[in-house]
Amino acid sequence: MAPIDVPSFADKQLRLLAAELNAELEETALLTATHAPSTLARAGLAVLNLAVSAQRTGLGGKSLVELSLDPAIAGTETQLPEHGLRVGDIVGVSEQPKGAEKKKERQDMEKKQIQGVVVKVLREIIVVALDKDEVDIPGGKLWLVKLANDVTYKRMNQVMTKLLKMPESEHSTLMRVLFGQSLAVSVQPRDLAKDLEWLDPSLNDSQKEAIKFALASPEVALIHGPPGTGKTHTLIELIRQCLKQDLRLLVCGPSNISVDNIVERLSPHKVPMVRLGHPARLLPGVLNHSLDILTRTSDAAALVKDIRNEMDAKQASIRKTRNGRERKAIYGEIKELRKDYRQREASCVDSLVRESKVVLATLHGSGGFYLKNQKFDIVVVDEASQALEAQCWVPLLTSGASKLILAGDHLQLPPTIKSSNSKSNKSKPKADLGDVSLETTLFDRMLDLYGDDVKRMLTIQYRMHEKINAFPSAALYESKLKAAEGVKARLLKDLPYDVEETEDTTEPVVFWDTQGGEFYEKTDDGDDAPKSKSSLLGESKSNELEAAIVKKHVQSLVDAGVKAEDIAVVTPYNGQLAVLSQLLKEKFVGIELGSIDGFQGREKEAVVVSLVRSNAEHEVGFLAEKRRLNVAMTRPKRHLCVVGDSETVGRGSKFLKSWMEFLEENADLRYPDLDDVLREE
């Protein structure tokens, strides 16, 4: 494989990232411009009728506003309606237009929109950290709307621009290896033969081998962890072994949850670590290690605390003051205090970070101000196949590390890309970006460049019954993936509570085959959005009769004693998800319903997969992606039930054909009777 020219790689990435951001902005702009606030609220993208219930100062001296239902409108109701806003979302806070507001007036109101990041979501409140320091929040009824998130793009743009401009003489050895300009040095067999003193006695051989390999690799090592194989388990031991060698590590993941997962599991081992990131975004168990909490509890913190209190008091007095001149004066004082606060906080933070041997942050969080001038030996990235390559360059360029360890599974879904199927990209001629696409992760690229030379695979999985394991192992993991002793024969009937022995609870794989052309899919146009306007409210597929079979199957599991919370139903289509929600959510309280993509990384005792597609043309759409199917079929521990039309699905791809053949030969095959299904409906 030819070496990659760094400036042209960076240039391509920049163009692809710009297209991606455009696609995201276009989608949000279309949504907010063409839909009334009430429609956006129904789609979970906005919350209406809010008022400020408190305001205080958070880390970095940022202004935090707490919003709750406006009592003047909501009366005694305090719980926020269902919404889809999550911590980390970028939102706009503004005065709520009265339904009949003209378009022009609405645009004017939106211009006054204040932007911020959601930092806390509870049943009754949402807290937003405002982007700008001195803002005046309107006193009337407010609403909150989700906006496109360009923060991560800004960081990725910065690092790619840095790569673009970096003279070759400044390229580190690691960089040269990652771009194929110098070849990765192979690990010597004698390095792998040496035995290590293991800290965790439960590690299996493939995990031990992967750890030794990563420790011995001079520049880059990939730990390939198929579903349930203990990737994180392995990383914990690897991190502890690195500490024994007195190495300093920057540990990252693409999402907050991926990073928190590691912090929680490192925590019992008393590792000197700090977790960067806003505390409201972190899991409760992780807070003790968060920089924000440490800055409050450490010795240096006392100095900072006084100023923080003073700032809070001033903020409160602003809200009580109506007089414009007085407000302006108080803002001025807050500004001065904030300056002082930031200086003291920075030195407190700096000493805390400097003392930590392990620093943990999201990939883009690692580019933040706290890590400027900090030096690390190794960058570790968990869930690396879910991260854009440009994201991985954030810690690589800030840390000065000479070694990179990536853990992931390139055979599960890559990060979601919007620009590849956006309208704008289809209508405009595509820029010639060679074979670089945003979907190609750094993990993929390393496999392409070096293959097995830089990789070790974990081969024992601790999740699935061996019959559930059989197809993905054979079709995707070279038959190397094996079920661990403790899980390979576990059935629903063996759950640690009372479950009857039935044809379902004694069977690990069931296939309801709807072939025959009676269970046709439907194309929904979704909500009141004009077709093709947006993927969020737009066209999707559903299959009501198939959903009825799902319901029947869930019912029989629940009748046998399986708890609803131990069951999940997943499907590739939002349209089908809506149909399933209607049918199952209230009847089986606690059941989990989700898209396949959203369920990556999760597991359940029993999983029902609704494939939806059934048509005379044998079109399979989303299902053609084998990584999506891999995720779907590897979520269950004890019971996998597939509902689908083998005639349609089996002709979708070679992979689908072999899956259908596998199910026909190995699953407990069932053919639904349409009259039965209609009667039960």
Ligand X SMILES: Nc1ncnc2c1ncn2[C@@H]1O[C@H](COP(=O)(O)OP(=O)(O)OP(=O)(O)O)[C@@H](O)[C@H]1O
Site residues, ligand X (CB under 6 A): 202-204, 207, 225, 227-233, 462, 601
Q: What single-letter amino acid sits at 294?
A: L
Say if CB 643 and CB 460 are below 8 A apart. no
556 burial level (CB within 10 Å; 0-12, 13-18, 19+): middle
Report which residue's Cβ sits closest to ligand X: 230
Instruction: Please say whether the beta carbons of 595 and 571 come within 8 A.
Output: yes
Which residue, chain included where needed, has tokens 């369920």? Answer: 599
Cα 509 off chain centre by: 28
Helix (H) and strand (E) counts in the chain? 23, 23
Q: Quick one: 223 exposed, middle or buried, by C-beta within 10 A (0-12, 13-18, 19+)?
A: buried
Exposed e or buried b per residue across 425-455, where buried means at least 16 C-beta atoms within 10 angstroms of its C-beta = beeeeeeeeeebebebbbbbbbbebbeebbb
**Residue 13 or residue 204: which is nearer to ligand X going by CB?**
204
- Taking the least distance from each CB to ligand X, the nearer of 324 and 496 is 496
Residue 26 or residue 209: which is nearer to ligand X going by CB? 209
Degrees (nearest 5) of the Cα angle 328, 331, 336?
130
Dihedral sign, Cα of residue 565, residue 566, residue 569, residue 574: positive
Beta-bridged to residue 117, according to DSSP, are 90, 129
DSSP label of 171: -
Q: Which two tokens stand for residue 566?
A: 């131990």
| Nearest residue (CB) to ligand X, 229 versus 543 | 229
Min. distance of Cβ 257 from ligand X in angstroms? 11
Query: What is the DSSP track for 221-264?
Result: EEEE--TTS-HHHHHHHHHHHHHHTT--EEEEESSHHHHHHHHH
Give the nearer residue to ligand X in terms of CB position, either 94 or 204.
Answer: 204
CB of 476 to ligand X, least distance (A): 14
Which CB sits closer to ligand X, 629 or 643? 629
Instruction: Compare residues 240 and 248 and give the one whose CB is closer to ligand X.
Output: 240
Q: How far is the CB of 430 from ligand X (least distance, A)?
A: 34
Q: By C-alpha distance, which of 252, 255, 242, 247 is closest to 275? A: 252
Shortest distance (Å) from residue 205 CB to ligand X: 9
C-beta closer to ligand X: residue 61 or 225: 225
Residue 76 vs 202, nearer CB to ligand X? 202
